[in-house]
């Protein structure tokens, strides 16, 4: 475990220990899986592709498909043109996808491979069959994080597909952010409940959360179709959920097709979900149905029932920037104190926004972008917290310091059911509350003196 983590914090410039992020291509691969009939393609060596696939598989508990340009020494010296050309030929011949979504890796970026030129050459040589598509995103892992990669692939979807074809259609685009398939399903349920036609891109529901039928489909029924992607250019508006993961694609769509966009944050917790519902109502010109109002009421009821247990509790939060920003807002609404807040992804917006959220209730909160879990552990050792919320890597700190941990965000590698329950929306907030209560009450029941061991809470 991490019991030997030193108390003394020394400045580090060129070393990250347990970074709270992962490779850019992982995000690009995940986004590409949200296009119907798409084969993600990793332009680099096989090791990168294997790692990225297995990381996604371990979180989503589903097989993740992707192909590789399989670089060896030759490609590293002379460039990857021959490898990509051969790969595209093989992919369309053997796997027959509708779309191949190419992302780069550190190696192909360092070489400086010109992917658009390579795709153009393959098209001219007839390697890309008629009616099929190859898109690309540059995803060098030595900058950004998996969230940057996700955002770049979403932007590529707009760049390659979106077009204004037949004037404005009565539909809303939703860019959901780097959330689980079950969250995307929940967002679609909310829009359907509000009787709004929407196009979500990407959409990994029914791709990475499939029922067990005994039959394997390489291209499941889910994912945003190419036709829907093209029609995003005709929509009334785009709602982009998350500054880091979704705003770039929405901006590109506005610039390319003139679709106005609303920049929102991930709808995690009460007020962030309120903002989404408000934006949906405004842009689509619909009323909020009773069913949604009742869901909201149930969440408020649970929040007020639990307030006595949450009030004043010190929390450490680590994870992806869009998730952490919205979660901090929710924790403040619960009267909790997010005293340590970090993300591994770079971006000043993170620190500014979290500071804005916490400045009144937790003015001395320590907030850091581009941070790692080692430093978070040192902060906790110096001044402990009551709860840690973050991905599976936080369990090492939780065990070393005997602090309850709620698994939240990506990746969750050591639990099974996170992929079944949403985090977004009013019902997602209730699920999150339930997880917080379970771990904190379990610890109290385990450790409290006998005279405080209560049957009724
Ligand atoms: S950091 Fe770069 S080289 Fe390493 S696995 Fe990620 S993409 Fe590949």
User: Which CATH number fits the domain that encloses residue 263?
Assistant: 3.40.50.1980
Q: Find the 369 Cα to ligand 1 centroid distance in Å.
A: 21
Give a yes or no: residue 52 inside a domain. yes
Give a yes or no: residue 413 inside a domain. yes
For residues 380 and 428, membership in a common domain is answered with yes
Q: Is the Cβ atom of 48 under 6 angstroms away from ligand 1?
A: yes
Q: Is the Cβ atom of 27 under 6 angstroms away from ligand 1?
A: no
Q: Which residues are catalytic?
A: 106, 110
For residues 424 and 343, membership in a common domain is answered with yes
Q: Find the 321 Cα to ligand 1 centroid distance in Å.
A: 21
Angle at alpha carbon of residue 93, lines to 88 and 95, rounded to 5°: 85
For residues 133 and 264, membership in a common domain is answered with no
Q: Return the residue whose CA atom lies nearest to atom 4 of ligand 1.
A: 48
Give a yes or no: residue 189 inside a domain. yes
For residues 138 and 251, membership in a common domain is answered with no
Mutate which of 106, 111, 137, 145 to test ligand 1's pocket (most atoms within 8 Å of Cβ)? 106
Give a yes or no: residue 14 inside a domain. no
The conformation of residue 287, written as its DSSP 8-state character, comes to P
Q: How far apart are CA 310 and CA 332, in angstroms?
A: 10
For residues 358 and 315, membership in a common domain is answered with yes
Question: Would you call 46 helix, strand, or coil by DSSP?
Answer: helix
Residue 214, C-beta contacts closer than 8 angstroms, at least 6 positions apart: none
Considering 288, 310, 333, which residue would you say is the last residue of a domain? 288
Q: Is the Cβ atom of 23 under 6 angstroms away from ligand 1?
A: yes
Give a yes or no: residue 371 inside a domain. yes
Between helix 425-447 and helix 270-284 the angle, nearest 10°, is 170
For residues 369 and 433, membership in a common domain is answered with yes
The conformation of residue 288, written as its DSSP 8-state character, comes to P
Give a yes or no: residue 18 inside a domain. no
Considering 232, 257, 288, which residue would you say is the last residue of a domain? 288
Cβ atoms of 239 and 279 within 8 Å: the answer is: yes
For residues 179 and 267, membership in a common domain is answered with yes
The conformation of residue 416, written as its DSSP 8-state character, comes to S
Give a yes or no: residue 80 inside a domain. yes
Q: Is the pTM higher than 0.85?
A: yes
For residues 432 and 311, membership in a common domain is answered with yes
Ordered alpha helix ranges (H), 42-137 = 46-60, 73-78, 81-94, 106-111, 115-124
Buried b (16+ CB within 10 A) or exposed e, 97-113: bbbbbbbbbbbbbebeb
Mutate which of 141, 148, 152 to test ligand 1's pocket (most atoms within 8 Å of Cβ)? 141
Tally of domains in the chain: 3
Q: How far apart are CA 230 and CA 135, in angstroms?
A: 13
For residues 118 and 59, membership in a common domain is answered with yes
Considering 269, 288, 307, which residue would you say is the last residue of a domain? 288
Give a yes or no: residue 3 inside a domain. no
pLDDT tens track, the chain, 457 positions:
577 899 999 988 889 999 999 999 999 999 999 999 999 999 999 999 999 999 999 999 999 999 999 999 999 899 999 999 999 999 999 999 999 999 999 999 999 999 999 999 999 999 999 999 999 999 999 999 999 999 999 999 999 999 998 788 999 999 999 999 999 999 999 999 999 999 999 999 999 999 999 999 999 999 999 999 999 999 999 999 999 999 999 999 999 999 999 999 999 999 999 999 999 999 999 999 999 999 999 999 999 999 999 999 999 999 999 999 999 999 999 999 999 999 999 999 999 999 999 999 999 999 999 999 999 999 999 999 999 999 999 999 999 999 999 999 999 999 999 989 999 999 999 999 999 999 999 999 999 999 999 898 7
For residues 258 and 358, membership in a common domain is answered with no
Q: What are phi and psi of 405, to 5 degrees?
A: -125, 135
For residues 411 and 309, membership in a common domain is answered with yes
For residues 383 and 413, membership in a common domain is answered with yes
Q: Is the Cβ atom of 25 under 6 angstroms away from ligand 1?
A: yes
- Residue-range definition of the domain harbouring residue 153: 24-161
């Amino acid at each position: 475990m991490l019991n030997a983590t030193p108390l003394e914090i020394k400045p580090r410039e060129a070393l990250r220990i347990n970074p709270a992020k992962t490779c850019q291509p992982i995000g690009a691969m995940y986004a590409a899986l949200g296009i119907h009939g798409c084969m993600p393609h990793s332009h680099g060596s096989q090791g990168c592709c294997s790692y990225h696939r297995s990381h996604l598989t371990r979180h989503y508990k589903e097989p993740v498909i992707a192909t590789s340009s399989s670089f060896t020494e030759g490609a590293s010296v002379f460039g990857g043109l021959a490898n990509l050309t051969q790969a595209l030929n093989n992919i369309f011949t053997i796997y027959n996808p509708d779309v191949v979504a190419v992302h780069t890796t550190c190696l192909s970026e360092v070489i400086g491979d010109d992917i658009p030129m390579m795709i153009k050459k393959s098209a001219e040589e007839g390697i890309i069959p008629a009616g099929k598509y190859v898109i690309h995103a540059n995803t060098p892992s030595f900058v950004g994080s998996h969230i940057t990669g996700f955002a770049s692939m979403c932007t590529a979807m707009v760049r390659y597909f979106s077009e204004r074809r037949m004037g404005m259609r009565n539909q809303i685009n939703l860019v959901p952010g780097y959330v689980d398939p079950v969250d995307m399903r929940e967002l679609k349920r909310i829009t359907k409940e509000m009787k709004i036609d929407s196009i979500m891109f990407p959409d990994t529901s029914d791709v990475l959360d499939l029922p067990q039928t005994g039959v394997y489909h390489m291209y499941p029924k889910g994912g945003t179709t190419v036709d829907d992607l093209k029609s995003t250019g005709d929509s009334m508006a785009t709602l982009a959920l998350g500054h880091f993961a979704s705003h770039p694609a929405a901006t590109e769509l506005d610039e390319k097709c003139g679709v106005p966009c609303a920049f929102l944050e991930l709808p995690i917790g009460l007020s962030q979900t309120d903002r989404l519902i408000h934006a949906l109502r405004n842009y689509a010109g619909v009323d909020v149905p009773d069913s949604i109002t009742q869901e909201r009421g149930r969440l408020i009821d649970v929040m007020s029932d639990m307030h006595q247990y949450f009030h004043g509790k010190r929390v450490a939060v680590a994870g992806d920037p869009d998730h952490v920003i919205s979660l901090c807002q929710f924790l403040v609404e619960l009267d909790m104190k997010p005293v340590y807040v970090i993300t591994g992804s770079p971006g000043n917006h993170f620190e500014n926004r979290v500071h804005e959220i916490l400045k009144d209730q937790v003015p001395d909160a320590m907030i850091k972008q581009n941070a790692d879990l080692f430093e978070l552990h040192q902060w906790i050792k110096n001044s402990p917290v009551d709860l840690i919320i973050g991905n599976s890597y936080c369990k090492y700190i939780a065990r070393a310091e005997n602090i309850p941990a709620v698994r939240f965000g990506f990746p969750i590698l050591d639990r099974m059911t996170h992929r079944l329950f949403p985090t977004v929306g009013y019902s997602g907030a209730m699920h999150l509350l339930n997880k917080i209560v379970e771990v904190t009450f379990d610890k109290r029941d385990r450790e409290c003196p006998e005279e405080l061991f209560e049957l009724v809470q």
